[in-house]
Amino acid sequence: MASDEEDFVFFGTPIEREEDITSRKKKSIAEASGQLRTLAPWKQEVRDEEGRRRFHGAFSGGFSAGYFNTVGSKEGWTPQTFTSSRKNRAEIKQQDLSNFLDDDEKAELEGNSLGTSMQFDTFGFTAAEMARKQVEKEQNERPSAIPGPAPDEIVVPATDPIGVRLMLKMGWRRGHSIKSSKTSSLYDAHREARKAFLALSDDAKPPVVGPKHAEVEDDMASASDLPTDGVSQFHKSTPVYVLNPKQDMHGLGYDPFKGAPEFRENKRSHLPGNKESGHKRQPPKKDGLFSFKSRNVAPGFGIGALEELDAEDEDVYASNYDFEAFVEEIEEPTKLAIEDKKKPSVKQHGILPGFKPATNSDYQLERFDPPVVPKDFVPQHKFPTTLEVNHKMTELPPKDVPPPEDNSLKVLIEGVATLVARCGTLFEELSREKNQSNPLFDFLNGGNGHDYYKRKLWEARQKHGDKFTPLLKEKATQNTQKLTAESRGNILGEKPLERSLAKDVPVPVTETVNLQFHLSDTFTEPSSFVEPTEITKPFQYDVAKQERFEQYMKEKYHGGLRTKDAGGSSKMSESARARERLEFEAAAEAITQGKWGKESQTSGQQILGVPGGRGLQFTSGGLEKMEVSRGEETMKKSMFPKREEFQWRPASILCKRFDLIDPYMGKPPPPPRSRSKLDSLIFMPDYVKASTKEEKTISNNTNLTGSQLDENEGTSVTGVEDNVEVENVERPVDLYKAIFSDDSDDEEESSNNPPEDPTKKIEAANTTLSRLVAGDFLESLGKELGLEVPPENHVKPQPTQKSTVPEIPQVSQMLHQPINSNSHKDTTRIQENSSRNDTSELNHEKQDTKVKRNGSSSEDERSRKRSKRHRSSSDGNGSDSSDDSRDRHSSRHKERKKESSRDRDRDRSSHGKHRKHKNRESSSKSRRYEDNDYGDGKREKRKWRD
Amino acid sequence: MSADGLPKNEAHVLKGHEGAVLTARFNKDGNYCLTGGKDRTIRLWNPHRGIHIKTYKSHGREVRDVHVTPDNSKICSCGGDRQVFYWDVSTGRVIRKFRGHDSEVNAVKFNEHASVVVSAGYDRSLRAWDCRSHSTEPIQIIDTFLDSVMSVCLTKTEIIAGSVDGTVRTFDIRIGRELSDDLGQPVNCISLSNDGNCVLASCLDSTLRLLDRTTGELLQEYKGHTCKSFKMDCCLTNSDAHVVGGSEDGRVFFWDLVDASVVSSFRAHSSVVTSVSYHPTDNCVMTASVDGSVRVWKA
């Protein structure tokens, strides 16, 4: 069929039949003809050229590009490259921009994309590559004698790289290095300057080494042949083959510092030849990769990338070297280059912070043996004699002549000769001048005995030559006035010697004597100390003297040789001059000292502070403390160790894990303990007890009343009361009262027990204190119980107490508390129990004792305790419980008192009518209040004591 | 007292730590030892043969203290990363990390049953961690210290800790009491005597102080060494006859317990001796130093 159809030939356009035209086409045509324009806007529909509806309502699909309201592709949103990763998880597709672009976008992008054209081939790589490919292709086509790919060397790119061509156009020729003339001249200048500097600093080291290595590598090549061709601007680019001799074990061409150039500098500094360069390159390291905030980082261990360097990362064990180098660095920014040399040796230790030198280095440090010292070497410096002296020393000795017959002349000649030898020719001239008329001195002028004098002089010079060379040199240099001496003096900070010396010297012999003395003055002090002393004029009253003084000062500070009668005071007598000089010296000293005093705070400190500051690292803060006086120490010893005891509540799980019984089992969690010392005195158990007492009250009550000790309990309560009730701290009690009890209770209570006398209260407080201090509460308890156990029928107070609701908890708690608080201490509990047993036994004996006796006996007790207290307080001073604790205790006591008085106030205000009833009978209640107070303190005391 | 029987000959040098070794501890029977240092590793050694057995790596910063359970099955360690690590000895894995200290942790100890780890931190707190449950919350925080807690010791019923605030505090779990003995000098390290009656406290005034635990009385002071700025250990010999302490100059000192005279001292290291640990039965002491070595000394 298909083949048949192919045979047909069609001419012209076929006529479209009616049915072929789709309805939508018709519609679009109609639309185009404006048929539908009459429709209301909301009825109009937008259609494409084929009449298809592309826009649907937002809820019926939105825009449809033909694929049923999806993206314009069959796959819809499914990415083209999507493959299930379930099976091939590891396969990671490299995605790029094109993966996310549509075809049209790609086409669009291609128009804008940049590509390198063959024409622009800077280094000729592309050309070379092309050429090689071409060669390979050709090789495949035609058989070759040598099988395999053509070696790269043979294939040379046909074209020059564009870079080369550009360079050629700019005047560069092949075989020349690329280098701007400007840099080279600049470099020359630098180099010259450095050379000059080195020459000036007169260092022994070869002047080339230092600066050369500091230069960048590519400069080094040209630096070697730099001075030769200054004319031509372009230098031969002789390839530098051996720049860095290979000293490591890495593979050829492997650069271990590829990503970390900071290390390269370090490596270079390690190399023996590059010591100087190493430290010169050090500074950039500081803001390099490892510039930590602190330099005292432990060597060897960095911290995680996500962690910050904290103070705790500082290496407390760091050696002092790092620190020293650090100090040096900051404080001496301007220093002579000679001194700079010290640094690298110190710095070598630190290298890079965060890294430590490997224990076994991969390169061997070249070591050279120290130069062999010749056997005959004498380690003593000989001052080089100056030209003149040398000349004189080496001059041929005059012929030996017999001494003149005249013995005195002979002695004179010899004496003069020694003197001249010692003091120089100056003396000879002077004496010649002086003694021109004297026939005895004819030998100086070539007269009688001249030859002998010459001979003696030579001998004397030979003799004294060694001894006095420095001196002679001093004079010689001065005479010859060589520039080298001056420059040398400048370097050494020496004041040039005065040249006009010869004229002023009155008596050469004394001069030589003075010379030695003045020599010390020839060294000028550092310029910082050469202060103009004009400000201070100690001799203002005498202008001439002041002038002389100034002259003196000038000379003193500027140094140099000078005559004694400087300042033209030749008129003055010798003694006056000496006296004046002494004065001047004293004044000068005073001035300098005064100045020092002033300066020491400012500039002096910064000069002297340098060694001091450096020394600081070696002094420890504890040193001063060590030198405390013996008295203090003994005091300390008596003070420490100081023992305190606190309540501490272990967590129940902790007890469980320790296999112990929780001492606080079944008690509500304590409130958080406050940090302050004073607050730590308010114990948590107060709250604990207060809260627990309510629940325990009833059970305790029933228990106790049910027991055979029933009656005793009531009475013993009154006895115990004194000691124990106190365990209730007012505050929590008040709190609970406020919460749980009505005012009516209070009323009832207060109506029964009117508030007590404040004075009595104080007294009670005192007694409390005394008892507390006296200490053993249990003992007193036992005694009291033994003493005053009321008879069975004297349970009278009980009903009254029971009538008041809050009373009961108190009572019961009194009974309960001691047991409770002592439950940890088995011994005490036993004691208490035994004491209670005692009471039960004594019970029968002391049937007739009354409650009132209780009070009186407690009075006795009080007095007894007071005396005890005095005793204990007197010896308590030296005891472990320090004043501190006592203070606290007392302060707390006061607080308590205040509180209780507040309590009372409240009572008073609410029940003012009862205030008049201040009778003894109601003391039972009031006493309870006292006891509250007192026992409170006691409880505290017990804590201290425990 | 004579210095006879006191270790003074170097038996082995345990080398392997890079950088300062901060702690060295014998295990219960003294056959093995653990060291920890600035290189963030804990190393297990046989100190008597000088063999390095295992390295435990997981700490993020330096290891300051390490302790091993009596049955040698677990290790706890602490350090600058503010965590307490609970390790399994054989696998070398961290079983648990206890986070909660606000700052570096100075010391760590197991209790008798190895059920609780107590750690002492620079954040002025002691924290007890439960090893039995899976909770990583501390079961108890004791924060009554006024300054960094440097050292902790545990008895069957008590937690004893020394702090820079100058106190040695004893927390008695049985009776719920805290006893604070103020020495007046920052306490660097505490160590219990083997009979448990005394506590030796190394103070930063270069003095070791021996306290009677029941009364808090100062029994003796030991001087001669230097201890001013570093956390350094001290301990008693296994016979309780001598006191052992390191010095910042690299020396190790032995004092007579009773008359406090320096019985023996020798240069053990080139730098600060950070830790001394005495063998539980033999006359053998192990010293660790900032110079990166751990040395075992025998009589």
Same domain? For A761 and A898 the reply is: yes
Say which range, A267-276, A833-842, B14-23, has the weakest mean pLDDT.
Answer: A833-842
Own/partner long-range contacts of A56-59 (Cβ < 8 Å, ≥24 apart): none
* Model pLDDT, residue B299: 79
Number of domains chain A is built from: 6
> Residue B88: pLDDT above 50?
yes
* Strand bridging mode B167-172 / B177-182: antiparallel
A644 CB neighbours in chain B (<8 A) are 179-180, 182
Q: How far is B5 from chain A (nearest CA, A)?
A: 32
Contacts of B20 in chain A (CB under 8 A): 298, 317
Chain B residues in contact with A680 by the CB 8 A cut-off are 144
Point out the domain boundary residue: A582, A608, A634: A608
Query: Residue A32 pLDDT > 80, yes or no?
Result: no
Q: How big is the A-B interface in CB pairs under 8 Å?
A: 148
Residues A577 and A724 in one domain: no
Flag whether pLDDT at B108 surpasses 90.
yes
Task: Point out the domain boundary residue: A557, A584, A608.
Answer: A608
Contacts of A300 in chain B (CB under 8 A): 18-19, 38-39
**Structural domain of B177:** 9-298
Helix (H) or strand (E) segment spanning residue B10: strand B9-15
Chain A residues in contact with B184 by the CB 8 A cut-off are 636, 639-642
The Cβ of residue B39 has, within 10 Å, a number of other Cβ atoms equal to 23
Same domain, A445 and A327: no
Radius of gyration of chain B (CA): 17
> Averaged over A133-138, what is the pLDDT?
74
Same domain flag for A160 and A198? no
Overall average pLDDT of the A693-711 stretch: 41
Q: How far apart are the C-alpha atoms of A233 and A222, rounded to whole Å?
A: 12
What DSSP line would sit under A659-711, residue for residue?
T---TTTT-PPPPPPPSSTTGGGS-HHHHHHHHHHHHHHHHHHHHHHHSTTHH
Locate A225 and state its tokens. Answer: 């042949």
Residue A599 lies in a domain: yes
Instruction: Compute CA distances A683 → A140, A672, A691, A727, A732, whole Å.
Output: 100, 11, 14, 11, 11
Q: Where are the beta strands (DSSP E) in A602-682?
A: 642-647
pLDDT band at A135 (very low <50, low <70, confident <90, very high): confident
Question: Tokens representing A346?
Answer: 């110190």
Q: How confident is the model at residue B19, as a pLDDT? A: 86
Band (pLDDT 50/70/90 cuts) for residue A82 is low
**Window A:619-638, CB contacts with B under 8 Å:** 620-622, 625-626, 636-637
One domain for residues A861 and A924: yes
Q: What is the predicted pLDDT for the residue at B75?
A: 92
| B182 contact residues in A (CB cutoff 8 A) | 640-644
In a domain, B4, yes or no: no
Mutation target to probe the B interface, by most B beta carbons within 10 A, among A307, A312, A314, A317 is A317
CB-based contact A651 B230, cutoff 8 Å = no
* Domain coverage including residue A826: 682-945
What are the tokens at A581? Answer: 């000089």
Q: Which of B103, B176, B271 sits opposite A649 (nearest CB)?
A: B176
Are residues A584 and A716 both part of a single domain? no
Q: Do A643 and B179 touch (CB under 8 A)?
A: yes
Q: Is residue B158 part of a domain?
A: yes
Percent of chain B exceeding pLDDT 90 equals 21
Which of A642, A646, A655 has its CB closest to that of B178? A646
Residue A785's pLDDT is 55
Q: What is residue A843's predicted lDDT score, i.e. its pLDDT?
A: 44
Lowest mean per-residue pLDDT among A29-38, A97-106, B77-86: A29-38
A317 close contact with B: CB closer than 8 A: yes
Q: Give a yes or no: residue A573 inside a domain.
A: yes
Cα–Cα distance measured from residue B250 to residue A138, given in angstroms and rounded to the nearest whole number: 78
* A51, part of any domain: yes
- Pair B120, B107: CB distance under 8 Å: yes
Which of B140, B269, B293 to probe the A interface (max A CBs under 10 A)? B140
- Chain B: residue nearest A306 by CA? B60
Kindly state whether residues A778 and A855 are assigned to the same domain.
yes
CB spacing of A644 vs B39 below 8 angstroms: no
Q: For position A544, what pLDDT does the model report?
A: 74
d(CA A428, CA A426): 5
Q: Are residues A518 and A473 in the same domain?
A: no
Chain B: closest CA distance from residue A383 (Å): 45
pLDDT at position A862 over 80: no
Do the strands B218-223 and B187-192 form a parallel or antiparallel pair, or are they unpaired? unpaired
Q: Is the pLDDT of residue A511 over 60?
A: no
Put simply, whether A362 touches B (Cβ < 8 Å) is no
How far is the C-alpha of B292 from the C-alpha of B149, rounded, in Å? 25
- pLDDT average, residue stretch A252-256: 77
Contact assignment for A657 to B116 by CB distance below 8 Å: yes
Mind giving me the DSSP string for A846-897?
Answer: T-S--HHHHHHHHHHHHHHHHHHHHHHHHHHTTSSS-HHHHHHHHHHHHHHH
* Stretch B152-164: mean pLDDT: 90
Model confidence at B67, pLDDT cuts 50, 70, 90, reads very high
pLDDT on residue A156: 59
Q: Specify the range with the lowest mean pLDDT, choosing from A100-109, A152-161, A821-830.
A: A821-830
Confidence of residue A943 (pLDDT cuts 50, 70, 90): very low
How confident is residue A203, by pLDDT bands cut at 50, 70 and 90?
Answer: very low
CB–CB contact B174 A648 (8 Å):
no
User: Cα separation of B75 and B97, whole Å?
Assistant: 12
Q: Are residues A224 and A266 in the same domain?
A: yes
The closest CB to that of A641, out of B19, B115, B216, belongs to: B216
Query: Which residues in chain B touch residue A667, judged by CB atoms under 8 angstroms apart?
Result: none
Residue A699 in this model has a pLDDT that exceeds 70 = no
B39–A300: do the CB atoms touch at under 8 Å?
A: yes
Nearest CA in chain A to B112: A658
Nearest-CB residue to A312 (from B80, B128, B140): B80
Task: Indicate the residue of B18, B215, B228 with minimum beta-carbon distance to A622.
Answer: B228
Query: pLDDT by residue (tens digit) across A665-692?
Result: 777 665 555 444 444 444 444 444 444 4
Residues A872 and A900 in one domain: yes
- Please tell me which of the candidates B38, B140, B184 has its beta carbon nearest to residue A654: B140
Domain contains A34: yes
Looking at the predicted structure, is the pLDDT value of residue A603 above 70? Answer: no
Indicate whether B3 belongs to any domain.
no
pLDDT surpasses 70 at A430: yes
In a shared domain, residues A782 and A877: yes
When scoring B110, B175, B209, B217 by the number of chain A Cβ atoms within 10 A, the one with the most, hence best to mutate, is: B175
Distance CA A455, CA A460 (A): 9
Residue in B with minimal Cα distance to A358: B18
Shortest distance, CA A824 to any CA of chain B (angstroms): 5
Q: Within a domain: residue A245?
A: no
Distance from C-alpha of A284 to C-alpha of A202, rounded to nearest angstrom: 28
Asked, for residue B262, whether it belongs to a domain, the answer is yes
Give the pLDDT score at A899.
45
Q: What is the CATH number of the domain that holds B98?
A: 2.130.10.10
Q: Does A669 touch chain B (CB under 8 A)?
A: no
Give the mean model confidence (pLDDT) for residues A116-127.
Answer: 64
How many structural domains comprise chain B? Answer: 1
A660 to B157: CB separation less than 8 angstroms, yes or no: yes
Phi-psi category of B100—alpha, beta or left, where left has phi over 0 and alpha has psi -120 to 50?
left
Q: Is residue A870 part of a domain?
A: yes
- Residue A40's pLDDT is 74
Report yes or no on B1 lying in a domain.
no
When the pLDDT of each residue in chain B is averaged and rounded to a whole number, the result is: 89
Closest alpha carbon within chain A to B103 = A312
Q: Does the pLDDT at position A381 exceed 90?
A: no
The residue in chain A having the minimum alpha-carbon distance to the alpha carbon of residue B111 is: A658
Domain boundary pick from A288, A320, A347 = A347
Closest residue, chain A, to B211 (C-alpha): A641
> Under an 8 A CB cutoff, do A301 and B40 touch?
yes
Please judge whether B177 and A655 are an interchain contact, meaning their C-beta atoms are less than 8 angstroms apart.
no
Whether residue A711 lies inside any domain: the answer is yes
Considering chain B, what percentage of its residues have pLDDT values greater than 70? Answer: 99
What pLDDT was estimated at residue A436?
Answer: 72
Q: What average pLDDT does the structure give for chain A?
A: 56
Residues A785 and A714 in one domain: yes
- Whether residue B283 is predicted with pLDDT greater than 70 in this model: the reply is yes
Contact A750, A741 (CB under 8 A): no
The answer to whether position A568 is within a domain reads yes
**Alpha-carbon dihedral angle through residues A225, A230, A231, A235, given to the nearest 10 degrees:** 40
Domain assignment present for residue B2? The answer is no
Q: CB atoms < 10 A from the CB of A873, how many?
A: 15
Segment A710-736, tens digit of pLDDT: 444 444 444 434 444 444 444 445 555
- The segment with the largest mean pLDDT, out of A58-67, A548-557, A575-584, is A575-584
A804-815 tens-digit pLDDT: 344 444 444 444
pLDDT of residue A740: 60
pLDDT of residue B8: 84
Long-range contacts from A475-481, C-beta under 8 angstroms, 24+ separation: A475/A424, A475/A426, A476/A385, A476/A386, A476/A387, A476/A388, A476/A389, A476/A424, A477/A386, A479/A388, A480/A386, A480/A387, A480/A388
